[in-house]
Amino acid sequence: MPSWPTNTKYISQSTPRVDAAAKLTGRARYSSDIQADGWLYGMILRSKWPAAKISGINLDKALQVPGIKAAITVRDGERTVHFYGEELAAVAGTTRQACLDALRAIEVKAQPLPFVVREDDAKKDNAPKVWEGAANASPGKSREQGTLDQAFTECAAVIEGFYTTPVQIHNPMETHGNTVSWTDDGVTAWSSTQGISSVRDGLAGALKLDHSQVRVITDFMGGGFGAKFGAGAEGVLAARLSREAKAPVRLMLTRFDQALAVGNRPSSFQKIKIGALADGTLHAFEMDNYGTAGIGAGGDSGGGGGGADIPAPYIYKVPNIRVKQTHVAVNAGSARAFRAPGNPPASYGMESAMDDLAVKLGMDPLELRLKNDPNEIRQREYKTGAEKFGWKQKYQKPGSSPGIVKTGIGCAGAAWPAGGASKSTQGEAQINPDGSIEFRLGVQDIGTGTKTVIAVVAAEMLGLKTEQITVKVGDTNFPPGPGSGGSTTCASISPTVFDICTKALQQLQTQAGIADARGENWFAACKKLGVSPLVVHGQWQPGLSADHACGVQFAEVTVDTETGLVTVKKVVAVHDCGLIVDKLTTESQVNGGIIMGLGYALYEERVMDDLSGVVLNPNFETYKLPGLADVPEIEIVLINMPERGVIGIGEPATVATAGAIANAVANAIGVRVSSLPITPAKVLAALGKVPPSTASKS
Amino acid sequence: MKSPEPENFGAHSRRTFLKTLGTAAVTAAAARAQSVAAELEKVNAEKTLGPGAVPVTLKVNGETLKLMLEPRVTLLDALRNYSSLTGAKESCDRAACGACTVMMDNTPIYACQKLAIEAQGREITTVEGLAKNGKLTKVQQAFWDKDALQCGYCTPGFVMSVTALLKKNPRPTAEEVKHACAGNLCRCGTHPHILQAVFQATGVNTASKTEVMDYA
Ligand code: FES
Ligand code: FES
């Protein structure tokens, strides 16, 4: 079995990311920056009806707008649209303004149909059907273990709660989109994607081309978080427009489009009943959960389609269980994988219930967790984090913080059981006689530091400096790599680069006759290659990576009981990801996970209008993201476990935050806000200071 | 529409506009209304531009850009799509994210909220104009060292906001940095590192609090 080097110069140290200068100087070309020769703007006309029969689309007037080079419909003939924002037609033109004018000139003959956008309404028997001939609510999946009803009677304490989470929108700063050029030689797409291979395959399938006729390039992309794996309707439309207009077409979605049609995290409505024995041992757990993935029902958490299932009971061991889960279809854009699918809502619901149970038991909630968490690593993380956070000194009984602005603390745990590696990952390196070396992997760097990880591993293995390593990714012409999802990228590419380097050193030994070509011998060895470079192919190897990362987070908040405003003061996060490859970018991943979790806890929610069926907040003014002033002091402890090999960290880092913050709020004010996001209105309602909002879902 | 743009009008990004909403808001608004009225009179006396393309001259990063633009083209669109300056990013196109932040006469503005013809006669600086001869500025270098960027799409905007701040206030407090960056969003969550980077750029070293512990 191969093993990672110890006494390292780069691995587990802090290397600033290798492509930073390009990003900091504006030199980096993102998909939205591509200016292919003679390129046109592309734009999409979307349904303004949440449900409608479309009987005709007339493009004639759009085609007459000066500057318009192509106008197409998504499909011919009659069709039904199922959500506000569904793609109807697309145009390509020489200016943005021409396209806007052309979209306005398209005539659509539509007959609006009844629709439903709220989960509770959609479940009713007489609700309009989202899909003809199918019930809105799936029959539901049930799972049972032990003797639940009996078990509840044996409990010393039982609580019931209804914990709800909203639909969250990915909102990467760069929207979805592509520049696509379709010529006789095939299609080239510069895609803002997390999966160049899946986009290539998707485009080839939709356009009826061979895979080899489609090339996807992603030099830089501005974030995805799970929403950017496929070619997407926008990718296919860009390609078709390009063929029609005989010119490259850049079709980037608007912020508005992004909120409607390209993914989201499903909602959850978790009715939980949980009971424990007198010593705090969990004994019985019952959950009835439903949620919506928009028009996309089916598919479990973790999949690209995105269902509304969540793992339950989350992370704790309970002997007696009944779990029922239902997907509810509504007339809204389909869900997609979203950073740790299923896990943040599961953690929020379960961890809230745990704290409510601790109150009933009169126990310290941290003690209750230590009593019931079967995972040894998390046990260790709780103890480490509690000390760093000062849990013992800070903990007060719920609601006992004095004054108008109350302080509270809470904690929660995370698991990321998926992860692991994509075992088919491949890559190559070209070693030139002058000693320069270039790595080429068909993976993409979505901001997680993939290029940096390649450089760090290569520099370590070859005894070179990271500056000597050239890294090229984001091109389907390179050996195939994984999509950037499931926190698998790091664990896929690190062993692959390890393998390439090992083979390179072996071949240099054979070809150059130098026993150890590393470090100071490098240039001499390469020189002996003569005139032809050495190209070494490698692939993922077992024994160098693992899966199942854990983590725990502690949060301290203040709650103003007069305004209802929650401020997160501090978060202590303890996470493990096996062997830490680059400490600095790992830290960035954890920060990012926490901040996204903070948004989920306090601000983010897609709001639908049930009367018109439209998304009411498809922009950054009304869909709130955390800003610099909202970000607390963050302290991170990384538990290094080199013996496990490399594990990804992007997803586990965002799982526990909302639960920890929600528990801290409950600890501060002595009552539970059982619905995310925890807005001032909900805090005041929980305190009995204002009536609960009728528009609110809880 | 006409150009160049009058003084004291339009030089207000949302950022500075919000700042001025203090006690002086009423007087300022009244004064501005007067100057606007005066300007409108002047404008109306001159010839109307558009709707077709008109020649527009921009001064960007010390160089002159001569473009033909419809008057409704924004500065951001002009930079990104009518020249090759794609450093300023488009993320919302409606004054809500700051990805498009550039400096106009040393003041940070949202380029998506400025018509290109209004920006004539001004010194525009984009992220491409900061590093001289390949040498990064202190702010850029600090962003690199502290990993104050992930996907990097928000990064040019933050760099411009911070650069503009440090020009006016070389030693800002954390609160002042937060205020200066209140108009910039980042979805990757680089915020803690951005704060560290700004302090490094001002000569205050802030060590990372991250601890690595061995499990065994
Ligand atoms: S693109 Fe200008 S503020 Fe968002
Ligand atoms: S670094 Fe990705 S949005 Fe800020």
pLDDT at A1: 82
Are B50 and B1 within 8 A, CB to CB?
Answer: yes
Is A119 within the bounds of a domain? no
Is B176 an 8 Å CB contact of chain A?
no
- Closest by CA to A237, choosing from A55, A43, A47, is A43
Nearest-angstrom CA–CA distance, A129 and A121: 11
- Residue in the block written with tokens 């040498």: B135
Residue B182 and residue B107 share a domain: no
Inform me whether the pLDDT recorded for A575 exceeds 60: yes
Residue A274 and residue A238 share a domain: no
Which one of A23, A32, A380, A619 would you mutate to disrupt binding with B, by most B Cβ within 10 Å of its Cβ?
A23
Find chain B residues with C-beta within 8 A of A585's C-beta: 147
Going by pLDDT thresholds of 50, 70 and 90, the confidence category of residue A305 is very low
Residue B147 and residue B109 share a domain: no
Q: Are the Cβ atoms of B92 and A620 closer than 8 angstroms?
A: yes
Is B216 an 8 Å CB contact of chain A?
yes
Q: Are the Cβ atoms of B187 and A380 closer than 8 angstroms?
A: no
Distance (Å) from the alpha carbon of B214 to chain A's nearest alpha carbon: 5
Residue B99 Cβ inside 6 Å of ligand 1? The answer reads yes
Backbone angles phi, psi at B2, to 5 degrees: -150, 170
Give the nearest chain A residue to B134 (CA atoms). A25
Residue A419 Cβ inside 6 Å of ligand 2? The answer reads no
pLDDT at B192: 97
Residue B186 Cβ inside 6 Å of ligand 2? The answer reads yes
For A185-220, what is each residue's pLDDT tens digit? 999 999 999 999 999 999 999 999 999 999 999 999
Going by pLDDT thresholds of 50, 70 and 90, the confidence category of residue B48 is confident
Give the nearest chain B residue to A20 (CA atoms). B144
Find chain B residues with C-beta within 8 A of A388's C-beta: 211
- A539, A571, A589 — which closes off a domain? A539
Distance (Å) from the alpha carbon of A334 to chain B's nearest alpha carbon: 21
Tokens representing B148 are 């104050």
- A539, A568, A598 — which closes off a domain? A539
| Span B190-195, average pLDDT | 98
For A251-295, what is each residue's pLDDT tens digit? 999 999 999 999 999 999 999 999 999 999 999 999 999 999 999
Q: Which atom of ligand 1 is nearest to the CA of B91?
A: 1
Which one of A8, A25, A387, A623 would you mutate to disrupt binding with B, by most B Cβ within 10 Å of its Cβ?
A25
Inform me whether the pLDDT recorded for A694 exceeds 80: no
Segment 31-60 of chain B within 8 Å of chain A by CB: none
Residue B166 and residue B194 share a domain: yes
Residue B211 and residue B180 share a domain: yes
Is B15 an 8 Å CB contact of chain A?
no
> Best of B74, B79, B94, B185 to mutate for ligand 1, by most ligand atoms within 8 A of CB?
B94
Counted residue by residue, chain A has a size of 698
Find chain B residues with C-beta within 8 A of A637's C-beta: 210-213
Distance (Å) from the alpha carbon of B143 to chain A's nearest alpha carbon: 8
pLDDT at A83: 96
Residue A184 and residue A44 share a domain: yes
Lowest mean pLDDT among A269-283, A288-302, B85-99, B154-168: A288-302
Find chain A residues with C-beta within 8 A of B96's C-beta: 255, 619-621
Find chain B residues with C-beta within 8 A of A619's C-beta: 92, 94, 96
Inform me whether the pLDDT recorded for A643 exceeds 80: yes
DSSP H/E element including B179: helix B174-180
Is A341 within the bounds of a domain? yes
Nearest-angstrom CA–CA distance, A611 and A331: 12
Nearest-angstrom CA–CA distance, A136 and A149: 30
Q: Between A168 and B34, name the one with better pLDDT.
A: A168
Going by pLDDT thresholds of 50, 70 and 90, the confidence category of residue B28 is low
Is A555 within the bounds of a domain? yes
Is B28 within the bounds of a domain? no
**Torsion sign, CA atoms A205, A207, A213, A218:** negative
Domain containing B139 — which CATH number?
1.10.150.120
Are A222 and A172 within 8 A, CB to CB?
Answer: yes
Lowest mean pLDDT among A120-129, A170-179, A372-381, B38-47: B38-47
Q: Which ligand is nearest to the CA of B152?
A: 2
Residue B148 and residue B70 share a domain: no
Residues of chain A with pLDDT > 90, as a percent, come to 93
Classify residue A463 by burial, with Cβ atoms within 10 Å: 0-12, 13-18, 19+: middle
Residue A388 and residue A350 share a domain: yes
| Span A55-63, average pLDDT | 98
Is B82 within the bounds of a domain? yes
**Residue A319, SS3?**
coil
Please state the domain count of chain B.
Answer: 2
For A463-500, what is each residue's pLDDT tens digit? 999 999 999 999 999 999 999 998 999 999 999 999 99
Find chain A residues with C-beta within 8 A of B80's C-beta: 33
pLDDT at B16: 45
Angle at which helices B191-201 and B155-168 cross, to 10°: 40
pLDDT at A300: 35
Residue A608 and residue A573 share a domain: yes
Is B105 within the bounds of a domain? yes
Inform me whether the pLDDT recorded for B9 exceeds 50: no
Tokens representing A285 are 């757990």
> Which residues span the domain enclosing B216?
132-216
Residue A574 and residue A525 share a domain: no
Q: Are the Cβ atoms of A620 and B96 closer than 8 angstroms?
A: yes
pTM for the predicted model, two decimal places? 0.94
For B180-189, what is each residue's pLDDT tens digit? 999 999 999 9
Find chain A residues with C-beta within 8 A of B208's C-beta: 14, 584, 587
- B101, B129, B157 — which closes off a domain? B129
What are the residues whose beta carbons fall under 8 Å from the beta carbon of B114, sequence distance 6 or more?
B10, B74, B75, B76, B104
- Closest by CA to A488, choosing from A538, A448, A429, A539, is A448
Is B215 an 8 Å CB contact of chain A?
yes
Classify residue A588 by burial, with Cβ atoms within 10 Å: 0-12, 13-18, 19+: buried
| Span A602-623, average pLDDT | 97
Find chain A residues with C-beta within 8 A of B156's C-beta: 23-24, 26
Per-chain mean pLDDT for chain A = 95
β-bridge partners, B135:
B132
Is A658 within the bounds of a domain? yes
Beta strands in B20-100 (DSSP E): 54-60, 63-69
Is B75 an 8 Å CB contact of chain A?
no
What are the residues whose beta carbons fall under 8 Å from the beta carbon of A488, sequence distance 6 or more?
A418, A419, A420, A421, A422, A482, A648
Which one of A15, A17, A24, A604 would you mutate to disrupt binding with B, by most B Cβ within 10 Å of its Cβ?
A24
| Span A643-654, average pLDDT | 96
Domain containing A552 — which CATH number?
3.30.365.10
Is B114 within the bounds of a domain? yes
Q: What is the ipTM of this complex?
A: 0.96
Domain containing A45 — which CATH number?
3.90.1170.50
Residue A617 and residue A586 share a domain: yes
Residue A447 Cβ inside 6 Å of ligand 2? The answer reads yes
- A252, A274, A306 — which closes off a domain? A252
Distance (Å) from the alpha carbon of B42 to chain A's nearest alpha carbon: 28
Q: How many angstroms is it from B149 CA to the middle of ligand 2?
A: 6
Q: Which atom of ligand 1 is nearest to the CA of B97?
A: 4
> Best of A171, A173, A452 to mutate for ligand 2, by most ligand atoms within 8 A of CB?
A173
What is A549-613 written as a DSSP string?
A: EEEEEEEEEEEETTT--EEEEEEEEEEE-BS-SBHHHHHHHHHHHHHHHHHHHHT----B-TTT-
pLDDT at A139: 78
Q: Are the Cβ atoms of A24 and B153 closer than 8 angstroms?
A: no
Is B177 within the bounds of a domain? yes
Residue B185 Cβ inside 6 Å of ligand 2? The answer reads no
Which one of B100, B212, B214 would you mutate to disrupt binding with A, by most A Cβ within 10 Å of its Cβ?
B212
Residue A657 and residue A602 share a domain: yes
State chain A's maximal CA–CA distance in angstroms. Answer: 81
Please state the domain count of chain A.
Answer: 3
Is A666 within the bounds of a domain? yes
Residue A312 and residue A190 share a domain: no
Q: Are the Cβ atoms of B151 and A221 closer than 8 angstroms?
A: yes
Residue B163 and residue B122 share a domain: no
Q: Are the Cβ atoms of B84 and A221 closer than 8 angstroms?
A: no
Residue B103 Cβ inside 6 Å of ligand 1? The answer reads no
Is B160 an 8 Å CB contact of chain A?
no
**Residue A474, SS3?**
coil
- B129, B144, B163 — which closes off a domain? B129
> Which residues span the domain enclosing A303?
264-418+546-696
Nearest-angstrom CA–CA distance, B185 and B91: 10
Inform me whether the pLDDT recorded for B2 exceeds 60: no
Is A25 within the bounds of a domain? no
Going by pLDDT thresholds of 50, 70 and 90, the confidence category of residue B7 is very low
Is B5 an 8 Å CB contact of chain A?
no
What does the DSSP 8-state code read for residue B132? Answer: B
Is A19 within the bounds of a domain? no
Residue B185 Cβ inside 6 Å of ligand 1? The answer reads no
pLDDT at B4: 40
Find chain B residues with C-beta within 8 A of A171's C-beta: 187
Residue B194 and residue B138 share a domain: yes
Residue B110 and residue B54 share a domain: yes
| Span A300-316, average pLDDT | 67
Are A504 and A527 within 8 A, CB to CB?
Answer: no
Is A165 within the bounds of a domain? no
| Span A624-648, average pLDDT | 97
Is B1 within the bounds of a domain? no
Residue A581 and residue A474 share a domain: no
